[in-house]
Structure 1
Amino acid sequence: MAAAFAPAELPPNRFGEPAAGACRGVIAGRDVLYLPRHGRPRHLAPHLVNYRANLEALRAAGVRGVVGLNTVGGIGPSAATGAILVPDQLIDYTWGREHTFAEPDRLLHVDFAEPFDAALRRRLLDAAARAGLAAVDGGVYGATQGPRFETAAEIERMARDGCDLVGMTGMPEAALAREAELDYAMVSLVVNPAAGRAENPFDMAAIQATAADGMARIERLLLAFFEGLDGG
Structure 2
Amino acid sequence: MLRAVIAAATRRSGQPGRVLAPPAFAAAAAACAVWGHPAAAAGAQQATGSRPYIGSSSSWSSGGQWEVLRSQGFAVNPCNSKLHPSVTEAGIAPDSDEEVSVQKAYTPESTCWGCGPAAKEGLFLSSYRIPGGLEATAVLDSKYCAFPGIINGGVVQSLFDCHGNWTAAIALMDNAATPKPPLTLTYEMLTNFKDTTPPNEPLILRSQIMKIKGSDIPGTKPTVQVDMHLYHSLGGHEKLLASATGLFKKLGALRAL
Give TM class, smaller chain. Answer: 0.3 to 0.5
Structure showing greater Rg:
2
Determine which structure has greater relative contact order: mean sequence separation of CA pairs < 8 Å that are 6+ residues apart, divided by chain length: 1
Task: Give the TM-score of the pair, scaled to structure 1.
Answer: 0.34
Q: Greater share of strand residues, 1 or 2?
A: 2
Task: Give the TM-score of the pair, scaled to structure 2.
Answer: 0.31
